[in-house]
Amino acid sequence: MEVKQTVLVVDDLVPNVKLLAETLKQNYNILEATSGAEALDIVKTKLPDIILLDVMMPEMDGYAVCTALKSDPATNHIPIIFITAMSDSENEAKGLEAGAVDYITKPFNISLVRARVNNHLVLKQYRDNLETMSMNDGLTGIANRRCFDVILEREWMRMLRNGRPISLIMIDIDFFKMFNDEYGHPAGDECLKNVAKALREELKRPSDILARYGGEEFACILSDTSLEGAHMLANAFSRAVLQLKIPNKQSTVNECVTLSMGVGTIVPGANNSISKLIKGADDLLYEAKRNGRNIIKFSNIF
C-alpha cells in the first residue's frame, strides 16, 4: 500500500485552510496551521512533504516563515508554495528569493492547486530518490560519508535547540588490511558487508544512524544519548561482530574479526562544535588501537 505524502497548509484565515484541506485530502495527508509560529512548531515533530504558505499573516508573515525553514538543515529541503492575493512580479521575486518554489494566487483555481502540488511532489520524490542513491554506500548499503556529514549537522542542531547530548561511536575493524592480504579483497568486501549488517541490526531507534566512514571504519550517530547508553551499544556492537565468527589468522587479539571503538559524548553549545565531537571520538578510537585493539575507549567531551 502506497503511503500518502503530507501537505502542511498555513493561512491565518481558517476558511482558506479548510478549502485547501478539502481540495487535497483525498490524495494527501493534511496538516493545518493558522499562524507562522504554529507552522514552525508542527514541523519540529512532523515533517511535511510540501508546504502551502500564506504570504500575508499577522505577527510572522510567510516570508519570515520561509526564511526560518530554509535556514534549518532539518527543513530546508521541503518545497514551499506561497499563497497570495498579490500577483505582481516584485512580490513573486521576493518569495522565490526567500526559497519558495511556486505561487498560488487567490481566489483559488482548484485544478491549478492540485496540479501544482502534484507536480512539485513528483519532483521532490525524484530528488529524494537521487539523494538516497547518492547518500548510500554502494558496498554495504548503509549511509556513506556524505550522508554522515549531513545527518550529523542536522542532529547537532536539533540537540542544540533541545539542550540534549549527542554521542558518536567511531568503529574500526582490527587488522583489516592484513585480513585483505591474507584472504583477498573479495573476502574483505564480504567481511565489510557482514559487519555492517551486524552493527545495523543492533540499532533500536530510527534516529540512530550507522555510516561507513571510510575504508574499514564505521561511525554511529546517537542523538539524545548519554555516554552510558552509547557505551552499552558499543559493547553490543562488539558482541555482535564476535558472534559472526569471521576467521582472521592475522589478528593478535582473537582468532576472529574484532572491533576497536572510540565513544564520545558532548552537549552541543557555544563552546562546542561538530569537529570537536569527531576529533574526540577519533582520538579515543586511536587510543583503543594503540592499547592493543579489541577495546572500547569512552569519555565525555568538554
pTM of the model: 0.65
Those residues whose C-beta lies under 8 Å from the C-beta of residue 88, and which sit 6 or more positions away, are none
**269 vs 95: which has the higher pLDDT:** 269
Q: Which domains does the chain have, with CATH numbers?
A: 6-133 (3.40.50.2300), 145-300 (3.30.70.270)
Q: Residues 57-67: what's their mean pLDDT? A: 92
Confidence of residue 1 (pLDDT cuts 50, 70, 90): low
Q: Which of 26-35, 129-138, 152-161 is the least confident region?
A: 129-138
What mean pLDDT, rounded, does the chain reach? 93
Distance, first Cα to last Cα, the chain: 48
Q: In this structure, how many other beta carbons lie within 10 angstroms of the beta carbon of residue 165?
A: 20
What is the predicted pLDDT for the residue at 15? 94
Q: Which of 19-28, 127-136, 219-228 is the least confident region?
A: 127-136
CB 27 within 8 A of CB 4: yes
Confidence of residue 183 (pLDDT cuts 50, 70, 90): very high
Q: Residues 234-249: what's their mean pLDDT? A: 98
Joined together, the cell numbers standing for residue 12 give 491565518
Confidence of residue 202 (pLDDT cuts 50, 70, 90): very high
- Residue-wise pLDDT tens digits, 63-95: 999 999 998 888 988 999 998 887 666 777 788
